[in-house]
Amino acid sequence: MPPARSSGSPSAPAAAEDEALPVKDRYLKYALLAPALLVCAATLFYPLLQSLVYSTQDWNLGRSPAPEGFAGLANYAALLRDPDFLGSAKVTLLFTLPSVTLTIVVAMAMALLLADNGRLQVNARTLLVIPFAMSPALIGISWRFMLNPEFGVVDAVVRRFLPGLSPVPILSDPVLAMAALIAVDVWHWAPYFMLTFIGALAALPRDTVDAAQVDGAGKVRIFFEIMLPQLWPVLTIAILLKTIFSLKMLDQVVTMTAGGPGVATDTLPHMVYTTAFRFYDIGYASAMAWLLAVVMMGLAMLYSRFVMGSSK
């Protein structure tokens, strides 16, 4: 029999007595689970299977209220030859790689600055999480406003200090729009990972750091050679999580850039969204969503393995 739980928590003895339970209690466990299973079956498992079915069908909702015929793998085959899809995959990578790297680096720098429990640090931490509790849609639309070349505060600052550069059409320039999307994403997520890293830093054993200090090692060396290796498990999980979050990021694309200018910020989730709900091509959109989902399932499995591994 497998162990009841990997973390060896107090539930182990309860599980061991399972057979000894009165009959009524043996049914209780399923009764307790049933509502949640029902909810998940209706809102998660059924839609997942259904979209997999749609992905093998020819179906434009604008033409017909029901699927128009079995297409086999034709949608998938068409996708792999579709330059728009491949372009969108490239845009997704161009967003994901810098946003993950910068978020982790910025969050770690912030964590090192704020790990102390001084009054300034504690207050700063409380204030820094406020943007994270904001609706992503509000974040996107707020930055769209602040980056507006006519009305935005960013351009007003540029006009004041570097009048030659104004107006800066950030969101209408392909490269700058992507940079802004990445910067706003880092702004959104860095405080959250900062809190995670502060927790991890506090859990580091002090003796190795102290010993290195006695030996006269500098702070930079201590960080890279002593602290960083011990932080790897947490960093790995944080990088995986942020990669997943970046790959599925959609709200800010819709509210800030709408995929533009042109298709410069048209990431895969946004392309699925427009294909399904602007062009009503349900079959094609579902196939696209499943190709993205396969990549993310791989990452989710890696994540599960690391989480299970680190709790042992």
Partner 1 sequence: MTAYVNPGLSSLKIDGRRRRRNGRSLRNAAIVFITVLWVLPVLWIMATAFKPPSEAAGLALWFKPTLSNLFASFGVPYLLGSRLLNSILVTAGTLAIAIPVSTAAAYAFSRFRFPGGSAAPLVLLATQFLPPVIIVIPLFVVFRNLGMLDTRLALVIANLSFVVPYATWMIKGFFDGLPVDMEEAAQIDGASRLMALWSVVVPVAVPGIATAAIFSFVVSWNEFFYALVLTRDHAVTLPVALMSARSEQGDAWEIMATMGLFIIAPMLVISRFVQRYFVAGLVSGAVR
Comparison of 90 and 311: residue with beta carbon closer to partner 1? 311
For the CB of residue 82, give the shortest distance to partner 1 in the complex, in Å. 17
For the CB of residue 160, give the shortest distance to partner 1 in the complex, in Å. 7
Kindly report the backbone phi and psi dihedral angles of residue 84, in degrees, each rounded to the nearest multiple of 5, phi listed first.
Answer: -65, -45
CB 168 within 8 A of CB 155: yes
CA-closest candidate to residue 110, choices 233, 19, 193? 193
Rg, the chain, Cα only: 25
Unique residue bearing structure tokens 């990445």: 182
CB 190 within 8 A of CB 139: no
For the CB of residue 19, give the shortest distance to partner 1 in the complex, in Å. 10
For the CB of residue 215, give the shortest distance to partner 1 in the complex, in Å. 12
Report the distance separating Cα 255 and Cα 179, nearest Å: 16
Comparison of 94 and 201: residue with beta carbon closer to partner 1? 201
Please name the residues in contact with 95: beta carbons below 8 A apart, sequence gap of 6 or more.
178, 181, 182, 185, 246, 249, 265, 267
Comparison of 83 and 205: residue with beta carbon closer to partner 1? 205
CB atoms within 10 A of CB 55: 24
Comparison of 80 and 127: residue with beta carbon closer to partner 1? 127
For the CB of residue 98, give the shortest distance to partner 1 in the complex, in Å. 18
CB 137 within 8 A of CB 254: yes
Structure tokens at 59: 């179906």
For the CB of residue 174, give the shortest distance to partner 1 in the complex, in Å. 21
Comparison of 152 and 259: residue with beta carbon closer to partner 1? 152
**DSSP at 6:** T
